[in-house]
Structure 1
Amino acid sequence: MEKKSFTFDEIKQKLVNYCVYQDRCHYEVEQKMREFLLIDEAKEDIMLYLLKENFLNEERFTRSYIRGKFYIKHWGKTKIKINLKQKQVPEKLIYKCFEEIDENDYDQTIRKIFDDYYSRQTGLKEYQRKSKTIKYLMNRGFEYERINDILE
């Protein structure tokens, strides 16, 4: 299929729309730019414009990503961190933005997921139910130490 060619301004507008629709990180915008044949200077110009006009804001993206993945998807911090690192978000920024998660909410979520999952494990010995549930929580990205603290 032949690539439709766009003017610089059309591409810029497409990338503005891409950022307005949902918060994006730099990495996602760079990936999106690959759809268009742009020289490096043009890519840089667009990036600077998006940053200057606040269409692109890595911290805002990170904060909303963390809130969404925790409060909506109920992921733990480990899983969130791994996914943000794949999007090339700096680790320092990730840790700074973890303040978006209320520590009490975090503990309550672990407790609730534990209780829900645990109650569905039938026909197993007590220790099997417990270890299976802990494994499930760890796969959701919750830290083993934190899970243990809450269960004690």
Structure 2
Amino acid sequence: MQQTKKTYTVQEATKKLEHYCAYQERCHKEVVQKLTDMYMIPEAIDVIVVHLLQHNFLNEERFAKTFVSGKFKFKNWGRRRLTFELKKKDISKVNINQALATISEGEYIDFFNDLAEKRANLLREPNKFKKKKKFTDYFLYRGWEPHLVYDKANELIK
């Protein structure tokens, strides 16, 4: 039995993508990938993306700000990881910088300090060198700046 792939008219695909974008902020790359997966031709993809931009379903600046705010608050990511993940999504440098600017320096440092203290108290490792390694690995993986991480590790783990 041959599997037939579902085909969409431009109107159907547009409606589907409006819902896709309304449900959650999306970046251009995700939208284009979704349309490609729906077997849309490049001309149709261009038409639909332009429609989504004109009707404000798709807004890269808004996406970047929402992404940064969410990943910072809920996944505890630092600036380096946020920048890296946004670059992977082909977000422009301007939008990345604007999004990162929504986190004030004071808020960033306070958040890091609270997080670091909680993390240091959670680690149950008698060997202080292994404990420092676990502590630094945790924060470096999440994209916090190395100078912050190492200074804090030396301050909290003695």
Do they superpose with TM above 0.5?
A: yes
Bigger shift: residues 34-43 or 21-30: 34-43
Q: Note the residue ranges of structure 1 that are not aligned, 5 or more in a row.
A: none
Which residue pairs with 1:31 in the alignment? 33
- Quote the Cα distance in structure 2 between the aligned partners of 1:18 and 1:90: 22
Structure 2 residue 97 is the aligned partner of structure 1 residue 95: yes
Which deviates more from structure 2 when the two are superposed, residues 4-13 or residues 112-121? 112-121
Residue 124 of structure 2 corresponds to which residue in structure 1?
Answer: 122
Q: Deviations over 1:33-64 (max 9, x none)?
A: 01222222211111111111111000000000
**1:11 to 2:5 alignment:** no
CA distance in 1 between counterparts of 2:54 and 2:148 reads 40
Task: Write the distance in 2 (CA, Å) between the matches of 1:29 and 1:66.
Answer: 19
Instruction: Provide the residue aligned with 1:110 in structure 2.
Output: 112
Quote the RMSD (CA, aligned, Å): 1.8
Identity of aligned residues (%): 34
Q: Does 1:51 align with 2:36?
A: no
Structure 2 gap segments, 5+ residues each: none
Moved more, 127-136 or 109-118: 127-136
User: What residue in structure 2 maps to residue 2 of structure 1?
Assistant: 4
Q: Which amino acid aligns with 1:56?
A: L
Residue among 56, 67, 70 paired with 2:69: 67
TM-score when scaled to structure 1?
Answer: 0.89
Per-residue CA shift, 1:67-89, capped at 9, x if unaligned?
A: 00001221111111111111111
Distance 2:104 2:12 in 1: 41
Report the residue type matching 1:20 in the other structure. A
**In terms of mean alpha carbon deviation, does 41-50 or 110-119 score higher?**
110-119
Deviation (angstroms), 1:128: 3.9
Q: Secondary structure at the match of 2:97?
A: helix
Distance of aligned partners of 1:37 and 1:124 in 2 relative to their CA distance in 1, 3 Å threshold? same
Which moved further from structure 2: 35-44 or 3-12? 35-44
Match of 2:140, as an amino acid?
A: M
TM-score, normalisation: structure 2: 0.86
1:123–1:10: structure 2 CA closer, same or farther, 3 Å change rule? closer
Q: d(CA) in 2 for partners of 1:65 and 1:125?
A: 37
**CA distance in structure 1 between the aligned counterparts of 2:151 and 2:125, rounded to whole angstroms:** 26
Does the CA contact (< 8 Å) of 1:110 and 1:137 recur in 2? no
